[in-house]
Amino acid sequence: MSDEISDNKTNGVSRRAVLAGGTALTASLFMPKGLRAADFPTAEVNTTGLAVTDDTVTIGILHSITGTMAISETGSVQAEKLAISQINAQGGILGRKIEYIQEDGASDWPTFAEKARKLLLNDKVASVMGCWTSASRKAVLPVFEQHNGFLYYPTFYEGLEESPNVIYTGQEATQQIIAGLDWVNQSKGAKTFYLLGSDYIWPRTSNKIARKHIENFMDGCKVVGEEYYPLGHTQFNSVINKIRLRKPDVIYAIVVGGSNVAFYKQLKAAGIDMTQEKPLLLTISVTEDEIRGIGGENIDGAYACMKYFQSLENENNLAFVAAFKEMWGDDMVIGDVTQAAYLGPWLWKAAVEKAGSFDVDKVREASPGVELTTAPEGYVKVHENHHLWSKTRVGRAQADGQYEVVFETADLVEPDPFPEGYQ
């Protein structure tokens, strides 16, 4: 038996009343009129035996809620549950309430594969919101492709992938990296870069793209060092000494997880004051979630380049932050991935309504071109390659643990998971 929870908050409120009030909020361009389950007979919207009844549809949530990744993935779970309860409050999808089955990947990749198989084969879920690390995604990918499941994956990641069974709601590497490097070059006059990161596929691929961009597309710029440390590494003194010796304009840091805490504390202890910007520190791996562990005072003045910061001041985001805090507590912070996870259920809703069906093949066909004007990050749109068009922003870390947004791209950046010239 699994932990099935349906959201009961809206019981007693007539579906139409909620719908009327909800339309303004949803503002999806693909709001078909009506949206009563009766208009969408189950036999027609579900021809492949998914877990769809006359008034419910079941999806899966597959994240680690135990083990080392739990601290990172909890925010994603919370965001997905928030989105689901909001969608249900507006009447659900095609008149059906979303119910979810949550499974624990336990920070263990074989477990992810096992649970993915269970969700698809046993529970027949219509889609899955899940995974965080690349390793977990790689583990479940063959399962989703073989059994034709549909996964919404929230994390910014290395690219080099374009599965017909996955929608990538985070940024792929080129989206996240190139705009930030150009910005630091143009507005800060940075010429020399020291690349460092944790030793696995995402930092390595990201730094490869950064290096190619710096060497081939940025005049007079060069990389003066590149180093990797095992996950969980906590001794950064030797690299900090090298940085002081080579005096780069920018430390480009892709350190992840617990190593972050040691890295920023040791930088500060070594007398590198990031608020002086000599050298300037630019990271793509520290969201507001990580700052909670690092401590705002230790990272004050560093820059981060990603697509979302909690401090974004637009109506969508203000409403999102307020709803998130109401549901999960005032001391919550929201990072880039949490926001991307929040997009998952909404993008799926929009695709299902556009397709008029829960069938995975039809949802897949409908997905490219689906847009969301209500996204906290602003407007997003699904690309043919299953990634999102999104803006890239640079934020400056504050002592209070929030980022101040200092730059955003004028236009949406096109996702390019297999970038020419960067391989």
Partner 1 sequence: MQSSAFLSRKEMIGFALLAALIFIVFPMMLDSFRLNLFGKYLTYAFVAVGLALCWGAGGILSLGQGVFFGLGGYCMAMFLKLEASTPENTSIQSTPGIPDFMDWNQLTELPWWWQPFYSLPLALFAVVAVPVVFAFIIGVAMFTRRVGGVYFAIITQAFAAILTILIIGQQGYTGGVNGITDLRTLLGWDIRTDEAKTTLYFVNGVLLFAVLFAAQYVRKSKLGRLLIAMRDQEDRVRFSGYNVANFKIFIFCLGAAFAGIGGAMFTLQVGFMSPTLVGIVPSIEMVIFCAVGGRLSILGAVYGALLVNWAKTTFSESFPELWLFGLGGLFIAVVMLFPNGLAGVWSEKIEPRLLALLGKAPADKSAPDGAPAE
> What single-letter DSSP state applies at residue 408?
E
> CB neighbours (10 Å) of residue 167?
26
Please report whether residue 118 would count as binding partner 1 according to CB under 8 A: yes
Nearest-5° Cα angle at 60, 58 to 62: 170
Which secondary-structure segment (H or E) carries 186?
Answer: helix 173-188
DSSP E strands: which ranges in 105-189? 128-130, 151-153, 166-168
| Residue recorded with tokens 């969301």 | 372
Which CB atom, from 65 or from 323, has the smaller least distance to partner 1?
Answer: 65
SS3 string, 294-312, reads: HCHHHHCCCEEEECCCCCC
Quote the CA–CA distance of 272 and 108 in Å, as a whole number.
37
Instruction: Decide: residue 204, CB within 10 A, 0-12 exposed, 13-18 middle, 19+ buried.
Output: middle
193 forms beta bridges with 223, 250
> CB neighbours (10 Å) of residue 192?
17
Which CB atom, from 32 or from 232, has the smaller least distance to partner 1?
Answer: 232
Identify which range of 45-53, 165-173, 181-189, 204-212 contacts partner 1 by CB under 8 A.
204-212
381 forms beta bridges with 371, 389
Give Cβ neighbours of residue 21 (< 8 Å, ≥ 6 apart). Answer: none
Please report whether residue 343 would count as binding partner 1 according to CB under 8 A: no
Identify which range of 181-189, 202-210, 301-309, 313-321 contacts partner 1 by CB under 8 A.
202-210
Identify which range of 20-28, 52-60, 115-123, 302-310 contacts partner 1 by CB under 8 A.
115-123
Q: Which amino acid is at 135?
A: A
Out of 22, 142, 295, 368, point to the residue binding partner 1 (CB under 8 A): 142
Please report whether residue 1 would count as binding partner 1 according to CB under 8 A: yes
Q: What are the tokens at 54?
A: 């006359």
Out of 19, 50, 83, 139, point to the residue binding partner 1 (CB under 8 A): 139
Identify which range of 44-52, 82-90, 108-116, 168-176 contacts partner 1 by CB under 8 A.
108-116
Identify which range of 27-35, 112-120, 310-318, 370-378 contacts partner 1 by CB under 8 A.
112-120
Which CB atom, from 158 or from 371, has the smaller least distance to partner 1?
Answer: 158
Please report whether residue 215 would count as binding partner 1 according to CB under 8 A: no
Out of 7, 80, 158, 408, point to the residue binding partner 1 (CB under 8 A): 158
Residues in region 18-77 near partner 1 by CB under 8 A: 65-66
Please report whether residue 231 would count as binding partner 1 according to CB under 8 A: yes
Which CB atom, from 141 or from 267, has the smaller least distance to partner 1?
Answer: 141
Which CB atom, from 65 or from 405, has the smaller least distance to partner 1?
Answer: 65
Q: Judge whether 186 and 222 are in contact, CB under 8 Å.
A: no
Quote the CA–CA distance of 246 and 268 in Å, as a whole number.
18
CB of 198 to partner 1, least distance (A): 10
Out of 13, 29, 121, 406, point to the residue binding partner 1 (CB under 8 A): 121
Please report whether residue 273 would count as binding partner 1 according to CB under 8 A: no
Please report whether residue 114 would count as binding partner 1 according to CB under 8 A: yes
Q: Judge whether 419 and 160 are in contact, CB under 8 Å.
A: no
Give Cβ neighbours of residue 269 (< 8 Å, ≥ 6 apart). Answer: none
| Residue recorded with tokens 């090298």 | 242
Identify which range of 48-56, 201-209, 324-332, 368-376 contacts partner 1 by CB under 8 A.
201-209
Which CB atom, from 39 or from 162, has the smaller least distance to partner 1?
Answer: 162
Please report whether residue 79 would count as binding partner 1 according to CB under 8 A: no
3-class SS at 288?
Answer: helix
Q: Which residues bind partner 1 (CB under 8 A)?
A: 1-3, 65-66, 102-104, 106, 108-111, 113-115, 117-118, 121-122, 133-135, 138-139, 141-143, 146, 158, 160, 199-201, 204-205, 208, 230-231, 418, 423
